[in-house]
Each structure stands twice: as structure tokens, then as C-alpha cells.
Structure 1
Amino acid sequence: MNFIDRSRGCLLHLTRFAALGLGAILLAACTTTTIDRGTYLADTRWHAQNADSRVRFLVMHYTEIDEAKSLRVLTTEGVSAHYVVPDAPDIEHGEPVIFQLVPENQRAWHAGVSYWQGTTELNAASIGIENVNLGPVDTPQGRGWQPYPPAQVDALIRLAKDIVTRYNIPPTRVVGHSDVAPQRKIDPGPLFPWKPLYDAGVGAWPDAPTVSAHLAGRDPAAPVDVLGLQRKLARYGYEIATDGVLDDRTRRVFAAFQMHFRPRDYAGNPDAETEAIAEALLDKYAGTELPETRPAP
């Protein structure tokens, strides 16, 4: 008889191997199933331990169009996202209704050319959430931003908290499109609710006392060394040159970081407060979840 190829054989071998300490392993093998896939049988009784989920990042976006157009574009054109959170979600049985467009185990086309913490092309390793929001809005008083309504924020928190819990996504890997593609994108914008998400257990945020300690009485707007700030943001996860040159590409990365963690001022200037925030984040997260090394941009 072949080795544990039938349930009867499993029971016989289970008795024989129990004394060798292999009973638990064999029992697990015996209780799994065979799947008929039409032209072959898949025996799933053995499970590799060296495996993990493809989902390692959560990427936030805004749609820049209304709900109806968002659903049409994201289901019929060359872009997609796993979820769309309406700006005014329907409520059923006391819970918000969120649109799921792509199964989580499949790739959605939401991040494009992207980079975070050494990983490129985040479409293959992330879940993408689109939030219905117009983003920048021109008014008679100048350019402004559409806010995220409380009902939408509540729905987003529920969704994001569920995702990061199920996939054990670390706080520093909950990011915006502007974080992973700062040369191309500015969504989800300066009004995105990063702090409420953090308060609910989703994403990263610096501790205010640590920021103050690193600021050490300096003027928050005081200029700082460009190379030093580049290196800190590269260590945190951004794709940024570390050459000490304050060019447009570096400014866009500084601005993306500021939009995420200091949205009241995201001009892209290398100032003392930005440096203090970066240092506070590294103090908080570098020892537990940031890769030790990254390829040079």
C-alpha cells in the first residue's frame, strides 16, 4: 500500500507513527481533502510552512471624480482598485456599504510605477482603497480640497482596520499613493484622515512629545541639512536620492511626507519640524518593522 494514500491507510500509519511523535503531523495530513479540478486531482493534504500572503501593503487613494464615474472608470477602464469607499455610504443593518471591485487575492491596477521600503510595483503586493473624493477643488478664494465626510471616514476605518488585522500589515506599510509615487501623484491629499486612522489602530503616526524632543527648541521652519533629511526619509521607506541636492524630485518627496504627517504645510522645504517628525517616526518604528537595508534609488 502507498504511504498514506487512503484514509484507511492513514489510520493504520497513524497508530504506527504515534510512538515516534509524528502522530499530529500525520493526523493533519489525513484530515485534508482532495480537490477535483476537472482534468486532475489536487491533493492538498500537505501544507508548506514557508509561505505568506501576497498582501503586504495597504495603499490609499482618492478618485477625483464622483461615485458614479468612479465605479464606471474602475470597472471598465485600464485601472482598478480592490475597494471603493463612497463619500456617503448606504447603511444596511447599521453598517456602511463599501464596494469591492477586485478579490483581495487578485492584483488590482491602482498603484502603477511605485516604490516603498524596497518593494517596487506595489500592485502585486498591496490592497488598494479608492475613496470617492474630488481632491483639489478650485474656488473663488483659490485652490482648496474636498473634505472626507465623517460617514466616509467611519466606513474607511472599519474597512482598513479589518484588512490590516487579517493580513498583519505593519503601521508603516499603510501608505498613500503620494508616498509610493511622489513624482506622479498627490492623492489622497492633505485632508486625508491619517490621524483618525492611527487612533483606530491603522497606520503610523509620530508621538508629539518625541517630535518636540527632536525639535529641541528650534524654529520649526529653520532649514536643515538636505542630505540628512533625504537619508531619514529613505530609511523610512521613500524612494529618494541621497545626494544632498534640493531639486524638484527631492522637494516632491519632502512634500509627500509633509502632506502625510504635517498637512498644514507641505511646501517641500527641508525644515526642522519635518526632520523632527521623521526622527520621531524612526524612533518609534525602525526597531520593529523597517527593513534594515534598501536598494539605492
Structure 2
Amino acid sequence: MSHPLHLATITTILALALFGFTGCAMSDGANFHKNSTERSYRLEVVPSQNASERVRFLVLHFTAIDFETSLQVLTQPSNSPVSAHYLVPETNDPSYPYDELRVFQLVDEHRRAWHAGRSQWEDRSQLNDHSIGIEIVNKSNCQPPPESSPGAEPDAVCFFPEFDPKQIDLVIALTRDILTRYPDITPTRIVGHGDIIPHFKIDPGPKFPWQKLAEAGVGAWYEEEAVQRHLALLDGNTSSDPESIRRRFALWLADYGYGIDPETASDEEISLYTRAFQYHFRPWKADGEVDNQTRAILLALLEKYFPQKLSGYFVGGGEGLVSSD
């Protein structure tokens, strides 16, 4: 990424990559199967009811680099090729060549972009096969941890700048447009890269305004009243040991959609997935600790979006919400 494009070159690429929100979905038999060449056989179209959309998830990323370099990385061949369906620039980026912000479509929605990696959400892995990816220009980055005393494991030093409000408005408009075409993308299936592969990724990071998106009808968020209600129950439970609390929380994470195995997950994995959850839903304190507030937020989300899964838990003996097994 050390050879930035000249403005003339990038303008050419932009002309080729400019977005069009055409969904390309076929709606009738006449358009079901098109081919520009003459066929040597007769084709009868009988649409099957036993099919579903490829797209089930929406994955949001930050680029960690400026617009010009992002566009180059996402569209040009390399030793480690990566792409996304859309790229959203930010205001006051010197490498951005236009006065107003535009959305750039880089891959057709019905094609597979390479943005999610070895990921998992719900019962699906390799989310490139099932998702639309949106890259958002933001120069968040993490540096390797400083040297420390033997035995210590310091965290990387991360810098998370605020997202541009005009850019976020554009992201909301884009995502709402996408949702009109893919009803299978439910609120809990709008996720960050860090949600689906927390071992290696943290984007879009703790500064991404998930709550604002949810208030605009994009993605999931909890009800504060439910959080306080669950928090009161959890604070009243003093009988559970820390290990069973962490293991139970891993179960709740899996119930929500995170790709963690609650039975085999190591203590480190539980912390990683907990931090990923906190980046999304409690960004002001993303420390990986399974405390009662984090637990209450997750229970409030399960109550709102997966109430049937709460049948595996119960309130017993005034000790709070515990596992039924």
C-alpha cells in the first residue's frame, strides 16, 4: 500500500466503480434466465419454491486507511486480495476527489466479495458466501503492544477516531436500501467484522455508532428498562461461582449468534468474544470481563430478539437468572 494512485487514475477507477443500487433480482419467468447467446435447446422456466436468497448477513468494517488507498486495495490484484461490495468515504479526506460524499459499489451484490475471512455467525461459517460487506473509511488502528516485564501480556495500543456524521448518514441510507432487497437480513444479522471473527479483527471498533443505526431501523439494540431489570436479578445472585458464570455467558453469546462453543471455549476465547460483544453493545468499557452489566445487556437482547431461547433460563429462589440445567 505504499504506491498511492494518481488523481487521474483514481478518477478512472471511480468512474468504473460508481455505485448503482440496482438489485438485479429477477421477478418473473421472462427474466428468470437470460443469456446473450442463442441456445440450441428450448428452455422452460418453472420457478421452485424450495430456494432462498444467498444474502443473509450484512457485515460492517473500517478500512484503517484513507479513501484512495482503500479503493486501490479493494479493487486491484495483490498477494492478499480483499474486496467489499461497498466503500463509504469520509469528509475532509485529502485523498477523496469529490466535494460531496458518494457511495462506491465495488462488487455486485449477487457476487461473492472477499471481506469476511474465516468467520462465523449463527449456524453459518465463511460469511463471504452469505453476506454483503461495507467498508467504511476510518483510520482506526492498533499498534503492537510495548515491551513489558516477563509474564505480562499487554494489550495493543489502539487509536479510534470518531466516525464522520455525514458518513454515518450515508451508511444508514445505504444499509436501509440494502435491507429492502434482502428480508433475511434481520437486526441481529447486521454485525461487525469483529463480531464474526474476534480472534483477529475488531472493526468497526468501539466508536462506531451502532445505537444510532438501530434507532434508524438498522441493526439490533437493547431496551434500557430490560437491562435494569436483568441487572437487578443478577446483582441479587451471589451463589454462582465465576467459572459457571463465564461458561453460562458463553452459552448466551452462542444463543445470540456468536460463533463460540460454550462447552469447549477456553478462558481466553470467552474473554475475546466478550470484548467483541462489548465493542458492539457496551463500547465505553470493552475489557473482556463478564460482569453483571454485560450479562444484563446480553439478556436484554435475547429477550428482545430471541425470547424463545430464554426458555432455557429461569429465575429461581431469588438468586437471579440462572441456567436451568
- State TM-score, norm by structure 1: 0.78
Q: Give the equivalent residue in structure 2 for 1:56.
A: 56
Q: Give the equivalent residue in structure 2 for 1:123.
A: 128
Aligned residues: 256
Q: Give the equivalent residue in structure 2 for 1:5.
A: none
Q: 1:123 to 1:245 in 2, by over 3 A?
A: closer
Q: Give the equivalent residue in structure 2 for 1:262.
A: 282
Computed over aligned residues only, the root mean square deviation of the Cα atoms, in angstroms, reads 2.8
Q: 1:143 to 1:173 in 2, by over 3 A?
A: closer
Q: Give the equivalent residue in structure 1 for 2:111.
A: 106
Q: Give the equivalent residue in structure 1 for 2:318.
A: none
CA deviations 1:210-261 (Å, max 9, x no partner) are 00000007669x9681111011001101122324876222111000000100
8 Å CA contact retained: 2:114, 2:128? yes
Bigger radius of gyration among the two: 1
**Is the partner of 1:61 in helix, strand or coil?**
strand
Aligned 1:69-148 pairs, distance under 5 A: 69-76=69-76, 77=78, 78-88=81-91, 90=98, 96-136=101-141, 143-148=158-163
8 Å CA contact retained: 1:194, 1:260? yes
Taking the aligned partners of 2:70 and 2:292, their CA distance within structure 1 comes to: 39
> Unaligned 5+ residue runs, structure 2?
1-27, 144-156, 313-325
Give the stretch that moved more between structures: 108-117 or 47-56. Answer: 47-56
Q: Which residue identity does 2:71 align to in structure 1? A: L
Q: Which residue identity does 2:90 align to in structure 1? A: D
> Unaligned 5+ residue runs, structure 1?
1-27, 293-297
Taking the aligned partners of 1:116 and 1:32, their CA distance within structure 2 comes to: 33
8 Å CA contact retained: 2:234, 2:296? no
Q: Give the equivalent residue in structure 2 for 1:205.
A: 221
Q: Give the equivalent residue in structure 2 for 1:161.
A: 176
Taking the aligned partners of 2:32 and 2:290, their CA distance within structure 1 comes to: 59
Q: 1:42 to 1:263 in 2, by over 3 A?
A: farther
8 Å CA contact retained: 2:302, 2:309? no
8 Å CA contact retained: 1:136, 1:146? no
8 Å CA contact retained: 1:85, 1:152? yes
Taking the aligned partners of 2:308 and 2:182, their CA distance within structure 1 comes to: 17
CA deviations 1:171-228 (Å, max 9, x no partner) are 00000000000111011000011011100000000110000000007669x9681111
Q: Which residue identity does 1:65 align to in structure 2? A: I
Q: Which residue identity does 2:203 align to in structure 1? A: D
Within the candidate set 225, 228, 244, 2:245 is matched to 225
Taking the aligned partners of 1:243 and 1:48, their CA distance within structure 2 comes to: 39
**Is the partner of 2:60 in helix, strand or coil?**
strand
Taking the aligned partners of 1:200 and 1:268, their CA distance within structure 2 comes to: 28
**Is the partner of 1:191 in helix, strand or coil?**
coil
The Cα of 1:135 is off from its aligned counterpart by 1.1
- Whether 2:275 is the aligned partner of 1:235: answer no
